[in-house]
Structure 1
Amino acid sequence: MDNNKPSKDLFVPVDMSSNDSEKIARPSLSFWQDSFIRLRKNVGAMIGLAVLIVLVVMAAFGPYMNEYGQFEQDLSRAKMPPKVEALSWLGMDGTLTSVQTADSLEKAEQNALMRFNNQEEYIKTEVLNDGSNGEPAKVEATYDAYGAKNMEENFWFGTDGLGRDLWTRTWMGTRVSLYIAVLAAAIDMLFGVAYGGISAYYGGRVDNIMQRIIEVIVGIPNLVLVILMILILEPGILSITIALAIAGWIGMARIVRGQVLKLKNQEFVLASRTLGAKDNRILRRHLIPNVLGLIIINTMFSIPSAIFFEAFLSFIGLGLPTPLASLGTLINDGFNSLQIYPHILLFPAIIISLIMIAFNVLADGLRDAFDPKMRE
């Protein structure tokens, strides 16, 4: 066992001058610099941020990338499938596919042709099962919708039941979702932070009254608030905005209140008060900055909920009125013809899923970056 011990001769004292003993090995970093470095190392958060940037750019410029307006109707091109020449291998080749089953092969082929108005010149059929094995006969029909209508222009996301271009309408609807995201963040930052900070800092009777007001607002469901706004105003973005402004900040106010209650009796607050700082300055310069990381994290987590709330309202008919487009109204339109024309629902559903997942992943990354316990 003694043979495995290192020899003392291997250890030599390091020559170090008194000036080098207190030398800082690396430059000091502020809390925000250190947090940003850790955020950049989070691959998931960076991917989420990149996805959000791409979606914002597409929402800003996407509707202008073709010549079709969001309200432009043409029934002759209704429910056209998506077609992109370079992405035909993804199924975006301008064709519609239907699988028909019947007791006999002839009947299945007849049903397949009838599904696309017997336009045999533009229909290709493929026998999946001829029925010889005792199971029903199955035939797949592929219909060239663009060739049948002699259409030379391509619709990248297809068209809806009124012939409106879904590419334009989807990105216009994305603007609504991003507006809701910005609105939710602004409401949390302005109302929630101010209300929670004032309630916790002054405490006593002020805190008691302000918390009772919150409890009254919490007792009213958001859906009821929206319905009341619609009765007073009209269905639209204004009703949703007011409903979010009334109740969307309560969660943030409670979180900020809890954090300020823990910090307001700390020594740095007492020192600032002793030096004559006013309450407004103590809140703005000392208390709120110390909970800013938590504020940003909770704001990012509240954004997907607000986006989903708007999409849900539009889906049940309480959101934007027709013909305005939001992702919720587009999903509602596509839901009615999901089995026959799935592309009408597919693209808005993908966009809203990407928005919500990207915000959640980015929020997770921010939480890990701002949390000192996650520091390596």
Structure 2
Amino acid sequence: MENHKPSKDLFVPVEREEEEQHEIGRPSLSFWKDSMIRLRKNKAAMVGLVLLILIAFMAIFGPYMNEYTANEQDLGRAKIPAKVEGLGWLGMDGTLSTVEEGETVEDAQADALARFKNDEENTEINVLSDGSDGGQARVEAIHDPYAAKDIENNFWFGTDGLGRDQWTRVWEGTRISLYIALLAAAIDMVIGVAYGGISAYYGGRVDNYMQRFIEIITGIPNLVVVVLMILIMDPGILSITIALVITGWIPMARIVRGQVLKLKSQEFVLASQTLGSSDGRVIRKHLVPNVMGLIIINTMFTIPSAIFFEAFLSFIGLGLPTPQASLGTLIDEGFKSLQIYPFILFWPALVLSILMIGFNVLADGLRDAFDPKMRE
């Protein structure tokens, strides 16, 4: 079989300018740019970010969207359900309903009317079962409190037991809860990064003493420390923030310490020290930036924990004093009327749940984006 060799004339080098030979075909991709690209590909993290931005926007501007103030009381409009034009299909039609049972239809109807102070004029009765099948008679009562109390304006989230507008109070409470959580997380980050970085960088006896101090604080139950601080200081935003900060910085300090211990013997750190950089400059310019990814991730997990802990303190009566509102105090007020007026609890609990889910899925997305092991 005859062997055909390709002619050398088929291979002609492509003419290129001198500048083009040294031109980079693909732009350089830094660690932060690569992380942001992978974060944008995470749909759950993006949904969480959008929800957080939306809630933050409403916390800032929501209380100014109607004419009511957070502490404006009017017992004549107390415990009014939410009513929004066009959203009746979502249950926001401004009515209250109940289902009652009795031996006869008349007995069930009497119990249902008693639930709404025997207001027959503004209560619609629907018979679900007349008891002819041998069971209990069941009726459904639908009451219109807006018509009963001659209320013309709509309350988008309803009102609480003192007639205060829930829309305004929920968003002002969200603002205060976010403020406390963000402030506590920022202070935790500053103290934790400084403490952990100094402890790991100097090592030896300094690290030993600083870690023993952390172990002493950790040995005291967190709730005991928080309760003592709140009892010593006057209840308020400052006391809750300090209570959250007392032990909240310890996880950050431990994470930073572990990372700095691995980085301080690297060549770039030794080169900086050889060139005469001070210890403070080495920590600020070389060690902390290389741990920034973990710092951001841990801070994002700290914020929902602080929000939940503040809500927990307010729920057990150690939170903000009345009439100040936070998500915890609003949930506490709604819990007292849960069986009869569940809508008072529903809205602050919904906002709190969205905040917790949003921060956690965003923190998960940041963790996956900053972790080199998660690259495809």
The alignment's TM-score, normalised by the length of structure 2, stands at 0.94
Conserved 8 A contact 2:230-2:243: no
Alignment match, 2:75: 75
Alignment match, 1:221: 221
Change (3 A) 1:190 1:14: farther
Pair 1:120 & 2:111 matched: no
Change (3 A) 1:109 1:229: same
Alignment match, 1:5: none
Find runs of 4+ consecutive structure 1 residues off by over 4 angstroms.
Answer: 12-23
1:186 CA displacement: 0.7
1:209 CA displacement: 0.6
Deviation per CA, 1:341-362: give whole Å up to 9, x if none.
1110000000001111100011
Alignment match, 2:91: 91
Alignment match, 1:300: 300
User: C-alpha separation between the residues in 2 aligned to 1:275 and 1:169?
Assistant: 58
Conserved 8 A contact 1:226-1:239: no
Deviation per CA, 1:273-316: give whole Å up to 9, x if none.
11111101110111111110011001101111111000000000
Deviation per CA, 1:123-148: give whole Å up to 9, x if none.
11111222122221111100011011
User: C-alpha separation between the residues in 1 aligned to 2:243 and 2:225?
Assistant: 6
Deviation per CA, 1:67-86: give whole Å up to 9, x if none.
11111111000101111112
User: C-alpha separation between the residues in 2 aligned to 1:280 and 1:227?
Assistant: 36
RMSD: 1.8
For 1:228, the aligned partner's letter is: L
User: C-alpha separation between the residues in 1 aligned to 2:74 and 2:35?
Assistant: 52
Alignment match, 2:41: 41
Conserved 8 A contact 1:83-1:92: yes
- 1:284-295 matched pairs, under 5 angstroms: 284-295=284-295
Conserved 8 A contact 2:333-2:345: yes
- 1:4-153 matched pairs, under 5 angstroms: 24-153=24-153
- 1:193-272 matched pairs, under 5 angstroms: 193-272=193-272
Provide structure 1 residue ranges, at least 5 long, that are not aligned to the other structure. Answer: 1-7
Alignment match, 1:337: 337
Q: Which secondary structure state, in structure 1, belongs to the residue aligned with residue 140 of structure 2? A: strand
Q: Which secondary structure state, in structure 2, belongs to the residue aligned with residue 121 of structure 1? A: coil
Change (3 A) 1:216 1:17: farther
Query: How many pairs were matched up?
Result: 367
For 1:94, the aligned partner's letter is: G
User: C-alpha separation between the residues in 2 aligned to 1:16 and 1:235?
Assistant: 78
User: C-alpha separation between the residues in 1 aligned to 2:307 and 2:243?
Assistant: 13
Q: Which secondary structure state, in structure 2, belongs to the residue aligned with residue 151 of structure 1? A: coil
Pair 1:364 & 2:376 matched: no
Deviation per CA, 1:301-336: give whole Å up to 9, x if none.
111111100000000000011111111111111111
Conserved 8 A contact 1:127-1:138: yes
Task: Give the fraction of aligned pairs with identical amino acids, expressed as a percent.
Answer: 71
User: C-alpha separation between the residues in 2 aligned to 1:97 and 1:178?
Assistant: 34
User: C-alpha separation between the residues in 2 aligned to 1:192 and 1:311?
Assistant: 23
Alignment match, 1:277: 277
User: C-alpha separation between the residues in 2 aligned to 1:14 and 1:256?
Assistant: 57
Alignment match, 1:3: none
Q: Which secondary structure state, in structure 1, belongs to the residue aligned with residue 72 of structure 2? A: coil
1:23 CA displacement: 5.8
Conserved 8 A contact 2:84-2:93: yes
Q: Which secondary structure state, in structure 2, belongs to the residue aligned with residue 39 of structure 1? A: helix
User: C-alpha separation between the residues in 2 aligned to 1:16 and 1:240?
Assistant: 71
Conserved 8 A contact 2:69-2:165: yes
User: C-alpha separation between the residues in 2 aligned to 1:224 and 1:72?
Assistant: 36
Provide structure 2 residue ranges, at least 5 long, that are not aligned to the other structure. Answer: none
Conserved 8 A contact 1:222-1:243: no
For 1:311, the aligned partner's letter is: A
